[in-house]
């Protein structure tokens, strides 16, 4: 079992799911992807998370992001759980949930941590770029629900910094000022970023977000 690190190529897999047999790479196509795991079906925190994911579909779609969930229970179990999710969260689950009964995908992605859950996946998140490289990983404890606004924020940052020579500062949100890459001189930065460059310190230069 290998640990997935930032920059690694996300392992491909084919598995049963709530929508039938599915191949991960084929499903993603040229989109960004978020793969996130759940310890088991019919668990309370995860029920709220999957409902929230469904409600955020349009926001993720705007960013060309496809969602895929995973649990070690069966596709039949997923079908029953989805009914509960739709009922209790007042939504419609609109993304696949992988049925990882043989723990093949869990093993590929190192989702089983014996100190936490010996026989089930921990609550991991992987953000994957169109070139299939892993751009972010997060692991949450069972008691803490994931923050989907934060996942959107990270996607915004990743997509911005992939195409512009900037980084995003603490608590950054879409539309706010960004940090000029340290690899660029201030003189060059002023040419690259016509909206202006503020030199707070020689190593800390701010500029308005270039793609808005």
Q: Which of the residues are catalytic?
A: 46
Three-class SS string for 153-193? HHHHHHHHHHHCCEECCCCCCCCCCEEECCCCCHHHHHHHC
Please tell me the distance from the alpha carbon of residue 90 to that of residue 71, in angstroms, as a whole number: 21
CA neighbor of 15 nearest in space, from 88, 72, 93: 72
Contact by Cβ (8 Å): 84, 42: yes
Contact by Cβ (8 Å): 136, 6: yes
């Amino acid at each position: 079992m290998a640990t997935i690190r930032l920059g690694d190529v996300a392992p491909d897999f084919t598995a049963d799911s709530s929508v039938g047999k599915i191949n991960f790479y084929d499903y993603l196509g040229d989109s960004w992807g978020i793969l996130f795991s759940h310890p088991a079906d019919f668990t309370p925190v995860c029920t709220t998370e999957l409902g929230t994911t469904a409600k955020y579909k349009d926001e993720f779609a705007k960013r060309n992001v496809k969602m895929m969930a995973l649990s070690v229970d069966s596709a039949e179990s997923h079908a029953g759980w989805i009914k509960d999710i739709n009922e209790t969260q007042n939504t419609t689950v609109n993304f696949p949930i992988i049925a990882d009964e043989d723990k093949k995908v869990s093993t590929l992605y190192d989702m089983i941590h014996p100190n936490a859950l010996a026989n089930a996946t921990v609550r991991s998140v992987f953000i994957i770029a169109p070139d299939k490289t892993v751009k972010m990983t997060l692991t949450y404890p069972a008691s803490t629900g994931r923050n989907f606004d934060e996942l959107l924020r990270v996607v915004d940052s990743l997509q911005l910094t992939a195409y512009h020579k900037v980084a995003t500062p603490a608590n950054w949100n879409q539309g706010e000022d960004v940090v000029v890459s340290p690899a660029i001189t201030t003189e060059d930065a002023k040419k690259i970023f016509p909206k202006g460059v503020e030199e707070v310190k020689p190593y800390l230069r701010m500029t308005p977000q270039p793609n808005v």
